[in-house]
Structure formats: C-alpha cells, structure tokens
Amino acid sequence: MKYKISEVSNILNIPVDTLRYLEVKDIVNPSKNDNNKYRFYEAWDINFLIEFKKFRSFDFSVSEVKEILHSDDLNNFIERVDERQGYFEEKLTYYTLLKQKNQEYINSLNNIKENIGKFSITNCPDIYYFMHRFNYKYEAKDNFDGLFESWLKYFPFVETIVEMQLDAVMNRNHNNDYEWGFSMRKDYAKAFDIPINDKVKHVKTRESVYTVICAGDKGSFSLKLLDGALEFIESNGYELVGDVIGNLLARVHEPSGYCRYIEVWLPIKKK
C-alpha cells in the first residue's frame, strides 16, 4: 500500500512542508513517480516518521534523530538515551526554578496597586547587576566582553533594573540622571552560574524602604517620583544612605494612559 504525502500528513498530523523538510534531511526517502514527481510513502517510510516523532519528543534534534534512525548501533543508541537523563535533570531544575520565579512575579503584580503610594521597611534582595544605558544612551555592547548577550539568555530570571544614584536623588530638583540595566537575584545567579566580570555590581541585602512608583509615557520618568518615599524616610527618623534600585514590573495601558510600574528599594539607616 502506498500513500500520498497529503495522506501521510493526515495520518501522522505532520504538515506537508515538514514532511518535505524531513526528506531533505534524509530522515525518510519516499519513492517518486518519474512522470509527475509525486511522492509515495510505504508503511516502512511511515515507521521511520513515527520513530522520528517519538525521538523528537525526547527533545533530540533532527540531526540526532537522523543518526539514531540511520547510524547508531545498539551501544551508541543506549549511550545516547542514557545521556538524556542528565539533560532532563537540568530541565527539571530549570523549570522548578521557573515555576518559583513565576509565582514570585505573580505575587509582585498582584500587590502593585496596594504598594503604590505606600511605604514599608524591609530588606532589599541580594542581587548582581550591571548598567548598560545612561539616561537615553546605550553603552556599546563591545565594552561588556559578551556579558550583555550572555545575560539575555537568562530571561525571565533577569530583571530590567533602574539605578538612581544617591547624589542625583538628593539633588532631584536639578538632576534627573539615572541608569538602566539587567539584574539577577544571587540565588538564581548561583543556580545558573551566570557569567560575571568587572562590569557587574553586587548589592547585598540591606534595610530599605520599599514602594512601587508609576511612570507614564515616553520621557515621563523622573527622580521626583521618589518624593513620597523620601518624605516617609525623613518623617520616620531615617536617612537615605545609598543608591536607589528598582525593577520594572509591568508596562500596561490603564484608563489614565500608558503606565510603567516599578518597584524600588531605598537603602536607609537610623539617624
């Protein structure tokens, strides 16, 4: 019994274009009519396609599946499948942490509204971070020795961070300088062994005032958004003792307009 490519596509739920691609990759080689070049698949060919789907489900690449189907002896095949165990262990660790990270993100998002204009004394997270943009100007990525590209691979564990230096904050009526970059919590950085060089700063957990600020559309970010937090610090007998850092939580469209919600930590100590 011979089957047309459309029939095989229907039987195996594999798009016709994918079947043609698998032919190019030598996964399967159906016979062709010499006159019209129509492909015809036999049960033997379909068996290879079924095995292809099976081993792709183990997350083997197309080239690896080709070797399994057309090259591996039993020992090579056993070794290849055995190596998957370590691969799945890494994936399990990744998705366990990702589930944890996503729940933390959900919690932060759900608490945005109640934290705007409210202030609490807590400890900031222990993080690594580096800055790549001063106000509206990006630093050349060649200056980071591959750091920028490497950290991009670790989303969503990497946060978009804003740093507002102490001097600028204290002179915010005349200075609106700030920097943007990437950050990652120390426990995640250790879990993934992220690359770190002299561009990366380390901020240990420290007593801070926590709040959420809301910046609007393009050009609306201002250090004066910290006014309420600084008044809280002063009225409670504290002083600001370091640079302010914040994570961009969400960019959304509210009835009042475009809004960027940013959680911030202002390091403090008693006067």
**Residues 35-94: pLDDT tens digits?**
777 889 999 999 999 999 999 999 999 999 999 999 999 999 999 999 999 999 999 999
Contact 223, 236 (CB under 8 A): no
Q: What is the pLDDT of residue 160?
A: 95
Supply 83's token pair. 């190596």
Q: What is the pLDDT of residue 105?
A: 95
Sign of CA dihedral 53, 57, 62, 64: negative
Stretches where the chain sits below pLDDT 70 are: none
Annotate the chain with three-state secondary structure: CCEEHHHHHHHHCCCHHHHHHHHHCCCCCCEECCCCCCEEECHHHHHHHHHHHHHHCCCCCHHHHHHHHHCCCHHHHHHHHHHHHHHHHHHHHHHHHHHHHHHHHHHHHHCHHHHECCCEEEECCCEEEEEEEECCEECCHHHHCCHHHHHHCCCCCCEEEEEECHHHHHCCCCCCCCEEEEEEEHHHHHHHCCCCCCCCEEECCCEEEEEEEEECCCCCCCHHHHHHHHHHHHHCCEEECCCEEEEEEEEEEECCEEEEEEEEEEEEEEC
Q: What is the pLDDT of residue 257?
A: 87
CATH of 3-71, one of 1.10.1660.10, 3.30.420.40, 3.90.550.10, 2.60.120.200: 1.10.1660.10
Q: Can you say how many angstroms the Cα of residue 184 is from the centroid of all Cα atoms in its chain? A: 11
Q: List the one residue out of 199, 197, 178, 188 whose CA is nearest residue 264.
A: 178
- Identity at 211, one-letter amino acid code: T
- Identity at 68, one-letter amino acid code: I
Instruction: Say how far apart CA 126 and CA 183 lie, in whole Å.
Output: 10
**160-176: pLDDT as tens digits:** 999 999 999 999 999 99
Does the domain formed by 113-270 have CATH 2.60.40.10? no
Other CB atoms within 10 Å distance of the CB of residue 187: 13
Supply 117's token pair. 């204009």
Instruction: Say how far apart CA 59 and CA 53 lie, in whole Å.
Output: 10
Q: What is the pLDDT of residue 180?
A: 95
Axis-axis angle for helices 5-12, 43-56 (nearest 10): 40
Task: Write down how long the chain is.
Answer: 271
Q: List the one residue out of 123, 119, 111 whose CA is nearest residue 231.
A: 119
The residue with tokens 């222990």 is 126
Supply 169's token pair. 């904050």
